A and B are shown apart, each in its own frame.
Chain A
Amino acid sequence: MENKWFTISAYSENSVGLLNRISGIFLKRHINIESLNVSKSEIENVSKFTIVVYTTEDWVRNIVGQVEKQIEVIKAFYHTDEETIYQESALFKVASTLLFDERNIQNIIKESNSQIVTVSRDFFVLAKSGRRNEIDEMYQQLKPYGIMQFVRSGRIAVTKSEMKISTLLKEFNQ
């Protein structure tokens, strides 16, 4: 079975130690977490883990089973890239002089659909959201001019299909 990119979505309680419990499931199977994001979800007081792995479907099914088994996890899913709408965000910190000295920088900002978050005397910050390859492309374009700092978030994703967490919670509590 071939390796593929999978996005795991896990709805959970917001409790101390759950991240450790979930990351341990990957550790035990020697599977790397490619990206991880934890945030609130569409349901009040329910958190959402978005985890990206590159592995086989057998393994991702096994992992999702174990994730869902954790007491504080309500439900976990896995999806392929085709089944999700996903993005990452990145911040680029670049020297302010470039904004004025290098005409091409302005083209890069325009063409990449990025936003200028702040401009100060010494530096300005660009924010870019999109697919990994778009962010990588912008990185490559800015690199020759010197990037002072760069950071990229984990993947965030929504699925094309429904997840029906509220219904599940109601069923559990019946």
Chain B
Amino acid sequence: METLKKERAASTKQSTMRISGAEAIIHCLLAEGVDLVYGYPGGAIMPLYDELYKFQDKLTHILTRHEQGATHAAQGYARVTGKVGVAVATSGPGATNLITGIADAQIDSTPMVCITGQVARHLLGSDAFQETDIIGISTPVTKWNCQVTEASDIPEVLAKAFYIAKSGRPGPVLVDITKNAQIDEFDFSYEHCKGVRSYNPYPKPDLDAIEQAADLINAAKKPFIVFGQGVILGQAEEQLKVLVEKAGIPAAWTILGLSAMDTDHPLNVGMVGMHGNYGPNLLTNECDVLIAIGMRFDDRVTGSLDTYAKQARIIHFDIDPAEINKNVKADVAVLGDSKVTLDLLLPLIKTNKHESWHNEFKERYKIEFDQIIKNDVYPTKDRLTMAEVIEEINIASGHKAIIVSDVGQHQMIACRYAKFKQTKSNVTSGGLGTMGFALPAAIGAKMGAMDREVVAIIGDGGYQMTIQELGTIFQNKTPVKIVVLNNDHLGMVRQWQELFFESRYASTVMVNPDFVKIAEGYHIESKRISERKDLKSAIQKMLASEDAYFLEVKVEKEDNVFPMIPSGASVSDIRLK
């Protein structure tokens, strides 16, 4: 606390007022521009809920049906708005239920502040009712966390929490506030946090490194860009586009980078990674300069590191120094905010075309189209495919929808085939792979972008992990569109069992309930289709609805997602079947 007090930066000071810690939390949230929080009440957080009740005209609280749902909704909100998502829970089980969402936000760099109630200070360490060491539990999965046991510390800690959550590489912060600190009164004033002395969120760009990067790019014969979420978080979409167009460099996305660049841009060559496109994966091992922008060389992107882009000089743009040389050694590392560093790079870049190199991607695309995409998107077999559903959504929404996907086969298909014109439009659980993410995340995404269509694409497995959030949708009349691609299996695990475990389908067959009836139980208009002739009209009807809508699509049970780089294999060993 001593440090915190020293960190008070000079800024406009509000006149002080004597209020409770709980009321102070509300004023802090309002000062940070928060108008929406997700949460679930309980004993140790009741003083805050009492204030949420009093301030409901200024600050909306959305009651989710489970605390995990509150975190995913906050994530969905943060991912489409770029603002900090806020989730509130009580102590003990309320707090532990946040952990999955926090871990997800940590690995996917999503700005989020979680506020948990805690037993009163005098009860700490006594194993009181609903006491749990949430600071200890959340430490490995938070960017920062802090326990507050005195009301007067609330403003400084929350100011610091918001600053840390959104600055630099964003991430989740948890603030645990004891009940006495919520009840006690103190003289409140609020100052935004302007910096933390031990924390350097925006490394100064190294101009020498930028020059070296430019030299490598200008001299390259086969340059290749892989862009990640760092482009979106750094709001460098325009800079990326200019770089790609000026230097004529083919660019591919990681699943979290998806939507940072128009999917129809002629130099946007698709997705890298385990189920990414054939060309980008294969040609990773043929490029001469690999330019990684705001991505972290996740194992699902690289496959075996021993055989990953060994022939290429690597330029790595990232804001997080710990990512440099973590998985892939960079020949040139450019630290800093992507917008700042790309702005410095662009004037040094020479105009180029690289047409024959670009043609290599086109050739690989043709192969992939003939062997996979054609059958996925324009199937001739009886049963529906996941990809044709995505394609129909693309057509009906004009590439303008926000797509929120869960985890599994449908996610890979959605990320492969969904079309985007606008950034911050693809919301998915990339790093943690959290089944159950999509339904609550779609609620947050819709509330963060009310003027846009939000379509959740979910498998029958993940859907049932957070299906109770239909209650949140019903209560708040949130007009999200929910598409469950039902193959009556845990499809991705089943695919691995088929390919690598001799088709022993251990616990991957799902006997499912009547999803339409369940949606009807929540008074959500719903429909089930299983035939191609009904697909177009069903999607159109769903998107035309002004309310929430549930569409179950019965798809082929044992389809596999290809291409595929088997786990631990080289990107060169990408399989088309």
Set B2, B198, B200, B324: member contacting A72, Cβ < 8 A: B198
- A65 CB–B CB distance under 8 Å: yes
Smallest Cβ-Cβ distance to B322: which chain A residue: A65
Interface members, chain A 53-74 (any B CB < 8 Å): 61-62, 65-66, 68-69, 71-74
CA distance A72 to B142 in the complex (A): 13
Decide: A69 and B320 in contact? CB cutoff 8 A.
yes
Which of chain B's residues have a CB closer than 8 A to the CB of A69?
Answer: 320-322
Residues of B within 8 A of A71 (CB): 143-144, 164, 196, 198-199
Taking the closest CB of chain B, its distance from the CB of A153, in whole angstroms, is 26
A15 to chain B, nearest CB (A): 7
Question: Which one, A16-24, A95-103, A110-118, A125-133, is touching chain B?
Answer: A16-24
Closest to B6 in A: A45
Assess the B140–A173 pair: CB atoms within 8 A. no
Tell whether, in the assembled complex, residue A24 and residue B164 are in contact, meaning their CB atoms are under 8 Å apart: no
Bound form: Cα–Cα A68–B321 in Å: 9
- CB-CB under 8 A from B140, the residues of chain A are 21, 24, 27-28
- Please determine whether A13 and B198 come into contact, CB atoms closer than 8 angstroms: yes
Given A69-B320, A72-B198: A20 and B326 interface contact (C-beta under 8 Å): no
Can you name the residue of chain B whose Cβ is closest to the Cβ of A23?
A: B139
Known contacts being A13-B3, A24-B139, is A66 close to B145, with CB within 8 Å? no
In contact, B147 and A16 (Cβ under 8 angstroms): yes
| B136, B198, B199, B326: most-surrounded residue (chain A CB, <10 A) | B198
In the complex, are the beta carbons of B198 and A21 less than 8 A apart? no
Q: CA of A68 to CA of B320 in the docked complex: distance in angstroms?
A: 11
**Which listed residue, A15, A27, A173, touches B3 by the CB 8 Å rule?**
A15
Nearest chain B CB to A72 CB, angstrom units = 5
Inter-subunit contact B136/A172 (CB<8 Å): no
B183-202 contact mask (Cβ, 8 Å, vs A): 1 or 0:
00000000000011111100
Contacts of A33 in B (CB 8 A): none
User: Is A169 in the interface zone, CB < 8 Å from B?
Assistant: yes
A12 at the interface (CB under 8 A from B): yes
Interface check B46, CB cutoff 8 A: no
- The interface residues of chain B, by DSSP majority, are classed as mixed
Given known A-B contacts A13-B3, A13-B198, A68 and B139 have beta carbons under 8 A apart: no
Asked if B247 is an interface residue, CB under 8 A from chain A, the answer is no
Residues of B within 8 A of A62 (CB): 322, 326
Residue numbers in B under 8 Å from A66 (CB-CB): 322
CB distance from A33 to the nearest CB of B (A): 15
A1-46 with Cβ < 8 A to chain B: 12-17, 20-21, 24, 27-28, 45
Separation of A49 and B84 alpha carbons in the complex (Å): 32
A172 contacts B321, C-beta separation under 8 Å: no
Give every chain A residue within 8 A of B200 (Cβ-Cβ). Answer: 171-172
Query: Residue of B at shortest CB range from A28?
Result: B140
User: Quick check: is B493 within 8 A (CB to CB) of the other chain?
Assistant: no
Shortest CB-to-CB span from B299 to chain A, Å, is 14
Measured between beta carbons, the chain A residues less than 8 angstroms from B476 are none
| Contact digits for B307-330, partner A, Cβ 8 Å, 1 yes 0 no | 000000000000011101110000
Q: Would you call B432 an interface residue if the criterion is a C-beta within 8 Å of the partner chain's C-beta atoms? A: no
Tell me which residues across on chain B come within 8 A of A45, comparing CB atoms: 2-3
| Chain B residues closer than 8 Å to A172, beta-carbon distance | 195, 197-200
Write out the residue numbers on chain A whose beta carbons fall within 8 Å of the beta carbon of B139: 17, 20-21, 24
Which B residue's beta carbon lies closest to that of A22?
A: B139
In B374-394, the 8 Å CB interface with A consists of none
B135: interface (CB < 8 Å): yes
Which residues from B are CB-within-8-Å of A14? 2-3
Cβ of A17: which chain B residues have Cβ within 8 Å of it?
135-136, 139, 145-147
- A68 and B136 in contact, given A74-B198, A172-B200 (Cβ under 8 angstroms): no
B147 — which chain A residues lie within 8 A by C-beta? Answer: 16-17
Chain A residues, Cβ within 8 Å of B322: 62, 65-66, 68-69
Bound-state CA distance A34–B143 (Å) is: 26
- A12 adjacent to B198 (CB under 8 Å): yes
Question: Which of chain B's residues have a CB closer than 8 A to the CB of A13?
Answer: 3, 197-198
B132 to chain A, nearest CB (A): 15
Complex Cα spacing A21 to B320, Å: 18
Q: B306 to chain A: closest CB distance in Å?
A: 13
Residues of A within 8 A of B196 (CB): 71
* Distance in Å: Cβ of B114 to nearest Cβ of chain A: 16
Once bound together, how far apart are the Cα atoms of A63 and B145, in whole Å? 20
B145 contacts across to A, CB distance below 8 A: 17
List chain B residues, Cβ under 8 A from A65: 321-322, 324, 326
Query: Which residues of the other chain, A, contact B321 by a CB distance below 8 angstroms?
Result: 65, 68-69
CB distance from A12 to the nearest CB of B (A): 7
Residues on A with beta carbons closer than 8 Å to the beta carbon of B326: 62, 65
B residues neighboring A (CB under 8 Å): 2-3, 135-136, 139-140, 143-147, 164, 195-200, 320-322, 324-326
State the 6 A-B residue pairs at the shortest beta-carbon distance, nearest first.
A65-B322, A74-B198, A24-B140, A71-B144, A69-B322, A71-B199
Q: List 25 A-B pairs, Cβ < 8 Å.
A: A12-B198, A13-B3, A13-B197, A16-B147, A17-B135, A17-B136, A17-B145, A17-B147, A20-B139, A24-B139, A27-B140, A45-B2, A62-B326, A65-B321, A65-B324, A65-B326, A66-B322, A68-B322, A71-B164, A71-B196, A72-B3, A72-B198, A74-B198, A172-B199, A172-B200
Q: Known contacts A15-B3, A71-B144, A72-B3; can you find 16 more A-B pairs with CB under 8 A?
A: A17-B135, A17-B146, A20-B136, A24-B139, A45-B3, A65-B321, A68-B321, A68-B322, A69-B321, A69-B322, A71-B199, A72-B198, A169-B197, A171-B200, A173-B195, A173-B197
